[in-house]
Amino acid sequence: MKIQQIRAVQFPAFPNSTFVEIETDTGLIGLGETFYTPNSVTAYIQEVLASLLMERDPLGIEDFWRTAYDSSHVYGNRGLESRCLSAIDIALWDILGQHTSQPIWQLLGGTCHPEGVLIYNTCASAGYAQGTPGIWRKDKSTNTSSYQDYEAWQPDGDAGELAASLLKMGVRAMKIWPFDRFALANRGQSISRSELDEGLRPFKQIREAVGRDVEIILEGHCYWALEPARRIAEAVEPFKPALLEDLIKPDNFGTLAQLRNSTNIPLCASERLLNPYAFRDMLAAGACDVVMVDPSWAGGITECRKIAALADTYELGVIFHDCTGPVSLAAALHLAEHSPNTWMQEIVRAFTSGPYRELVDHLFEIENGKMRATGGPGLGVNLRKDIRGRREHILASHQS
């Protein structure tokens, strides 16, 4: 079996998503995905990765991964290069699963979570993260879900009603980021007492509405310096959040460890680390309690299973990130179901019930607060054929 064609697929309504289709001479088509900078992604895959892939046996996944990683070492392999390699890697695993008629979680060694993995809901709305990173974009063209979860915990919303809605679905954990807006004025160098009190408002509403029945995860989006991050952690501690995620950048693991040692709340970090070596250094520094990894950024299935296993050697749980796209979530669920130390799987119900259903033929169903990976061969998801505005770029072809 040989690779015959590589295509990038994009849709105007989902401007940050790049889907990759790898077609073999047997007719199998593997599907991958990554997120952000779609023009750069397409250019790098065409310029570098496609030439390494053409006429190659797609089942030699580990060998290809190392070849591609080593080839980028001279100019950097932890940003764009890692994201592009992630998309290709996911597509190759999809081909392997289809070739063997097995789901990816089975190829990895089977499931450790036969009833599915626990999920938490990131409380965004459809259209979130579709613009420039860090700038919220509300776009009616992608706002197809009935869930307005972002608006629900804003100052004029009711986070308690949101928590009750999630609990009714069986979802017992949620993530919000009410302190972010206060960081913008001074690059996260300080936070006032009144800003702390205002940021605590949704925490109070949640605890008054559902008590401790719903866990709260506080997202920080890496906006804060150490001292204000400590102030935030101290302020939210009476509300017993399950995790503090990325209050500060994971650029200095010693500083991150200082934050961890100054609070009783567990720290989660960080999908912003893009290969196992960065995760190794973070774990060696004692800088987190739960590891967060994104399959479409950190090297695909090949490397994320290693990152999960590395966290397991430190007796730490792993969360698989999703605030991006349906193929990335499908890959994450295969990894989450296989990994014995999966803590939770992140989802955005406004995405899974809306835009993701527009893009792929799989329904990401929630049952008893859990979600399963697909049981079909490979990823078990395909791009829908009826999506309007499909833009297809042939990056390499045997005929060309």
For the chain, the maximum distance between any two Cα atoms, rounded to a whole number of angstroms, is 65
pLDDT, residue 134, reads 52
pLDDT, residue 73, reads 79
**Distance in angstroms (rounded) separating the CA atoms of residues 397 and 400:** 5
pLDDT, residue 121, reads 98
pLDDT greater than 80 at residue 6:
yes
Lowest mean pLDDT among 34-38, 145-149, 313-317, 365-369: 145-149
Per-chain mean pLDDT for the chain: 94
Using one digit for the tens of pLDDT, what is the confidence trace for 138-175?
Answer: 444 444 568 999 999 999 999 999 999 999 999 999 99
Could you give the strand order of the β-sheet that contains 14-24, starting from the edge strand earlier in sequence?
Answer: 29-35, 14-24, 3-11, 391-397
Lowest mean pLDDT among 64-68, 317-321, 395-399: 395-399
Q: What is the mean pLDDT of residues 4-30?
A: 96
**Taking phi first (over 0 means left), then psi (-120 to 50 degrees means alpha), and beta for anything else, what does residue 389 get?**
left
CA 98 to chain centre: 24
pLDDT, residue 132, reads 57
pLDDT greater than 50 at residue 21:
yes
> Which class does domain 3-102+383-397 fall in?
alpha beta
pLDDT, residue 72, reads 86
CA 256 to chain centre: 21
**Distance in angstroms (rounded) separating the CA atoms of residues 251 and 278:** 10
pLDDT, residue 162, reads 98
Q: What is the mean pLDDT of residues 365-385?
A: 96
**Distance in angstroms (rounded) separating the CA atoms of residues 357 and 369:** 19
Whether residue 328 contacts residue 18, with contact meaning beta carbons closer than 8 Å, is answered with no
pLDDT greater than 80 at residue 283:
yes
pLDDT greater than 90 at residue 128:
no
Q: What is the mean pLDDT of residues 237-250?
A: 98
Prior bond to 270 cis, omega within 30? yes
pLDDT, residue 142, reads 47
Q: pLDDT above 70 covers what percent of the chain?
A: 96
Closest CA to 117 of 304, 372, 322, 301: 372
Taking the chain, what is the end-to-end CA distance rounded to the nearest angstrom? 19
**Distance in angstroms (rounded) separating the CA atoms of residues 34 and 41:** 8
pLDDT, residue 230, reads 98
**Distance in angstroms (rounded) separating the CA atoms of residues 195 and 179:** 8
Whether residue 287 contacts residue 269, with contact meaning beta carbons closer than 8 Å, is answered with yes
Domain boundaries, the chain: 3-102+383-397, 106-371
pLDDT greater than 80 at residue 33:
yes
pTM exceeds cut of 0.75: yes
Which pLDDT band holds residue 127 (cuts at 50, 70, 90)? confident
Q: What is the mean pLDDT of residues 11-34?
A: 96
Using one digit for the tens of pLDDT, what is the confidence trace for 288-300?
Answer: 999 999 999 999 9
Q: What is the mean pLDDT of residues 337-353?
A: 97
CATH 3.30.2090.10 fits 106-371, yes or no: no
Lowest mean pLDDT among 45-59, 65-79, 181-195: 65-79
